[in-house]
Structure 1
Amino acid sequence: NAPRFSAYVASKSALDAFSRCAAAEWSDRNVTFTTINMPLVKTPMIAPTKIYDSVPTLTPDEAADMVAEAIVYRPKRIATRLGIFAQVLHALAPKMGEIVMNTGYRMFPDSPAAAGSRSGQKPKVSTEQVAFAAIMRGIYW
């Protein structure tokens, strides 16, 4: 439930729902679906958002390993420990999860691009932001 990404997350939720329905339709033909809850990956796509230089991300190789695991073992879902914890927290104590995500949302300002600026300067990152991002590795703020 990453703040600032509601439309993106909604599209992924729709794909997840489609996969669950299609899995039921194709199960008897040995067609399987795996949902990968992919954390933030250090790719050229995220390079313009300079604050991502200061937060932990997966390497492309780590992301590829998650995809390979899905192909080889065909589990229903692949997620990080943090992602699984967040799903359980949301199911058991949704308000607490909301508060944690709101804390991160307020801690990290909009990127210069989102604010309408073309500044290529790397933003100053506080020790609190670095610590929070390390604890929440893979969440994109």
Structure 2
Amino acid sequence: MTEREPFRTRIKVRHYELDTLGHLNHAVYHSYGEVSRLELLEAAGALKGLGNVASVLLETNVVFRRELRAGDEVDVTCDVKFGTGKTFKMDSTITKLDGTVAAEISCTLGMMDLELRKLVPNPRGVFEAAGADLRMLSTSE
């Protein structure tokens, strides 16, 4: 069996995203991860059919590897890892087109009942019941 590639979004670094040192502002890395997460959820059909439940970001961490500068293009991957509890992981890698890893992002999310304002159990089951393509969401499926 061959290993599947995770979902990927291409983004171009814009001039207004730079800091005073001339490289991508640290907060924008989080934004790039969010773009990839939302693009993946949309492509996998995971934003429809959820009813009164929505994903919520609980924790995010970025490890900076190489600087990004204006005009650089990057691929931002996103891959879901479901566990057994109320949370799940979405990991991203920001890679320059030459293959250089610029940053790694790891996030912990949950699925929140919007009326109760509490996490629901089994996020994988929530996505599955909503008709999301689990194989697109996760290379582990």
Report the TM range for the smaller structure's normalisation: under 0.3
Q: Could you say which structure has the larger radius of gyration? A: 1
TM-score w.r.t. length of structure 1: 0.27
**Which structure carries more strand by proportion?**
2
**Which structure carries more helix by proportion?**
1
Could you say which structure has the greater relative contact order, defined with CA pairs below 8 angstroms and 6 or more residues apart? Answer: 1
TM-score w.r.t. length of structure 2: 0.27
